[in-house]
């Protein structure tokens, strides 16, 4: 056990971050930490990755996270890009269609996918890192926080996840529970999991050798027995049927019931090849906080939501992207543990907004009473003929986007100039002096970046600002119009690249300055003019709880005196 007198650098930690749960959130977090050089261990209670049907939709934000981890191509090999979702009533009328075409973050906004195959790619990605381990048949039996870290009791399990043998001790700097809705980490912290588990249940059936073949998603709003039909990659077709109140799960998962339901939606001469079937209940719950000391929660351990918007998977990936670089800065001593407090500040409200949206969509399209279903059938076809309403739905403008009013960000002092700080930055394409095009994130890598529009920024960087940039390991980049030379008066440090199609200029048209600072998760940390750069970086260092090396420059007041 550690004591308050021990120096953390002298302690023998088994790992710096211990992740409980090898679901998509835990595996994504481990891949990001692997990229950031953090010694990480993932323990999973079962003997292998879960193979039963779960998420079917991955969005552009999640793909951007996989891009940062170097796995986006592997993941996309198990997706159907630009998948349209149509809501169809009992008369065959399309009441609404979600079909976004814009790609502001560099990837399609809606993608069908097969989660077990994507999870496998994420697990294989960990094999790239000698400092990351994935250990199956291990569960968390208990833990105790102390002055320097967390002592964790790790329980051996059999392939089914049942305890066998005696628990062993692991010492870690930080512990992250990614262990699902029944999270043992959250339970042992004693955190409330507020919300409701609705009585609505759905039977999910996956078929091999897709007998339909169309590429999109249809939500059939039958008044008696609504169902969903989804095209998945690799010739798999999914059907989801609502389970009536009071019906037995065992009955609905039986061969007799499964094949009778499929007979309703498939031609009589089709003999479906059922891969798997499972009944799910919808939940809308969120933990009161995502952090307690050196223990944190992510993914379903922190929040659960109904499937109507397919955002449960994606919200967990956002958690991992937000948390990984903060954990890395803390374990490396770049920032104090105060930085971890920004995780709940930034993620809680957005996760809550996604839960509320998912609940609302379910109540709109699958009302609980015959009267409300009648209103839906009457009003929805009228609304679908109104152009602005149709475009609002098709372009997914209803989807809450992350916006951080507090946390590891620096908002302008003038409220009217705010609006871009705390949001996700776009991902345009750039070109180097030889004309080679690249996506922005591939140029930056998984780190901070300072991006200036057109003009040099280095003239405005004083010694203290330079120290902050070095502590952050930030890439510096000047982006110029494609008409201008990249070799004329380059900055003394960093890259110069061209704005291929004017996307950067259009973003800076609406910005309050010509310099933007991006965090590793591509959130806009600050926007400023060149002359404000020094003060903005000092404020950002405070927001990040940055721990600068000792010396006169670590004191901002002395830097101001010498600047």
Q: What is the full DSSP assignment across 154-192?
A: EEEB-TTS-B-S--EEEEEEEEEE---TT-HHHHHHT--
Q: What is the pLDDT along the chain (563 residues), one digit of tens a residue?
A: 333 334 444 457 899 999 999 999 999 999 999 999 999 999 999 999 988 767 888 999 999 999 999 999 999 999 999 999 888 888 888 888 888 888 999 999 999 999 999 999 999 999 999 999 999 999 999 999 998 899 999 999 999 999 999 999 999 999 999 999 999 999 999 999 987 666 578 899 999 999 999 999 988 887 777 889 999 999 999 999 988 878 888 888 999 999 999 999 999 899 999 999 988 877 889 999 999 999 999 999 999 987 666 677 999 999 999 999 999 999 999 999 999 999 999 999 999 888 887 777 766 666 666 666 666 666 666 666 666 755 645 555 556 678 899 999 999 887 666 689 999 999 999 999 999 999 999 999 999 999 999 878 888 899 999 999 999 999 999 999 999 999 888 888 889 999 999 999 999 999 989 999 999 999 999 999 999 999 999 999 999 999 987 765 555 554 444 33
Which pLDDT belongs to residue 375? 65
Query: In angstroms, what is the C-alpha Rg of the chain?
Result: 25
Contacts of 466 (CB under 8 A, 6+ apart): none
DSSP-assigned letters across all residues of 378-398? HHHHHHTTSHHHHHHHHTTTT
Which pLDDT belongs to residue 559? 44
Contact 315, 354 (CB under 8 A): yes
Which pLDDT belongs to residue 396? 53
Buried/exposed code over 18-28 (b: 16+ C-beta within 10 A; e: otherwise): bbbbbbbbbbb
**DSSP strand pairing (449-453 vs 303-304):** unpaired
Q: What's the burial of 16, exposed, middle or buried (CB within 10 Å: 0-12/13-18/19+)?
A: buried
- 465 is written with which tokens? 């600002």
If we measure between CA atoms, which residue out of 234, 232, 223, 182 comes closest to residue 204? 232
Question: Containing H/E element for 327?
Answer: helix 312-331
* Interatomic CA distance for residues 241 and 91, integer angstroms: 18
* Interatomic CA distance for residues 299 and 98, integer angstroms: 25
DSSP-assigned letters across all residues of 446-512? SS-EEEEESS--GGG--HHHHHHHHHHT-EEEEEEETTS-SSSS--SSSEEEEESSSHHHHHHHTSS
Kindly state which CATH superfamily the domain 415-562 is placed in: Phenol hydroxylase, C-terminal dimerisation domain (3.40.30.20)
* Interatomic CA distance for residues 245 and 225, integer angstroms: 11
* Interatomic CA distance for residues 452 and 124, integer angstroms: 37
DSSP-assigned letters across all residues of 201-225? EEEEEEEES-SS--SSEEEEE-SSS
Show me where the domains of the chain are located.
415-562
If we measure between CA atoms, which residue out of 444, 414, 411, 438 comes closest to residue 519? 444
Contact 41, 18 (CB under 8 A): yes
- 358 is written with which tokens? 């998912």
Query: 3-state DSSP call for residue 518?
Result: strand
Contact 68, 125 (CB under 8 A): no
Contacts of 439 (CB under 8 A, 6+ apart): 67, 106, 427, 429
Which pLDDT belongs to residue 560? 42
Angle between helices 60-68 and 312-331 (to 10 degrees): 30
CA-based diameter of the chain, in Å?
A: 84
Length of the chain: 563
Q: What's the burial of 71, exposed, middle or buried (CB within 10 Å: 0-12/13-18/19+)?
A: buried
Query: 3-state DSSP call for residue 376?
Result: helix
């Amino acid at each position: 056990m550690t004591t308050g007198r021990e120096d953390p650098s002298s302690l023998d930690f088994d790992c710096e971050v211990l992740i409980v749960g090898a679901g998509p959130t835990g595996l994504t977090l481990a891949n990001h930490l692997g990229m950031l050089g953090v010694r990480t261990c993932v323990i999973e209670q079962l003997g292998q990755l879960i193979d039963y049907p779960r998420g079917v939709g991955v969005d552009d934000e999640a793909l951007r996270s996989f891009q940062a981890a170097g796995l986006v191509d592997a993941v996309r090999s198990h997706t159907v890009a630009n998948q349209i979702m149509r809501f169809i009533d009992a008369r065959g009328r399309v009441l609404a269609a979600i079909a976004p075409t814009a790609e502001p973050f560099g990837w399609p906004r809606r993608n069908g996918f097969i989660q077990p195959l994507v999870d496998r790619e994420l697990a294989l990605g960990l094999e790239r890192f000698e400092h990351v381990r994935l250990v199956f048949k291990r569960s968390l039996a208990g833990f105790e926080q102390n002055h320097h870290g967390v002592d964790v009791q790790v329980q051996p399990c059999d392939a089914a996840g049942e305890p066998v043998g005696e628990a062993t001790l692991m010492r870690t700097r930080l512990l992250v529970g990614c262990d699902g809705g029944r999270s043992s980490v959250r339970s042992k912290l004693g955190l409330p999991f507020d919300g409701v588990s609705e009585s609505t249940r759905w039977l999910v059936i996956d078929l091999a050798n897709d007998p339909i073949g169309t590429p999109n998603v249809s939500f059939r709003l039958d008044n008696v027995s609504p169902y969903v039909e989804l095209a998945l990659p690799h010739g798999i077709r999914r059907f989801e049927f609502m389970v009536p109140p009071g019906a037995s799960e065992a009955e609905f998962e039986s061969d007799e019931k499964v094949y009778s339901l499929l007979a309703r939606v498939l031609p009589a001469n089709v003999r479906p090849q059922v891969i798997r079937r499972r009944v799910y209940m919808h939940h809308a719950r969120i933990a009161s906080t995502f952090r307690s000391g050196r223990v944190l929660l992510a993914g379903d351990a922190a929040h659960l939501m109904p499937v109507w918007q397919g955002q449960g998977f994606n919200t967990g990936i956002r958690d991992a992207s937000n948390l990984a670089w903060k954990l890395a800065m803390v374990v490396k001593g770049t920032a104090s543990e105060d930085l971890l407090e920004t995780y709940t500040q930034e993620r809680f409200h957005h996760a809550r907004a996604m839960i509320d949206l998912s609940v609302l969509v379910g109540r709109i399209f699958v009302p609980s009473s015959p009267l409300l279903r009648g209103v839906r059938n009457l009003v929805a076809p009228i609304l679908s003929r109104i152009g602005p309403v149709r475009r609002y739905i098709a372009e997914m403008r209803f989807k809450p986007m992350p916006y951080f009013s507090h946390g590891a960000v620096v908002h302008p002092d003038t409220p009217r100039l705010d609006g871009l700080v705390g949001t996700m930055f776009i991902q345009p394409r750039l070109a180097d002096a030889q004309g080679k095009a690249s996506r922005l994130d591939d140029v930056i890598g998984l780190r901070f970046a300072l991006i200036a529009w057109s003009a040099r920024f280095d003239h405005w960087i004083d010694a203290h600002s330079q120290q902050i940039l070095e502590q952050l390991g930030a890439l510096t980049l000047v982006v110029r119009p494609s008409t201008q030379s990249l070799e004329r008066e380059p900055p003394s440090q960093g890259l110069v690249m061209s704005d291929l199609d004017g996307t950067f200029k259009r973003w800076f048209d609406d910005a309050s300055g010509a310099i933007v600072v991006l965090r590793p998760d591509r959130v806009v940390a600050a926007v400023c003019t060149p002359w404000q750069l020094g003060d903005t970086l000092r404020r950002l260092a405070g927001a990040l709880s940055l721990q600068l090396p000792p010396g006169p420059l670590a004191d901002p007041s002395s830097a101001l005196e010498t600047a």
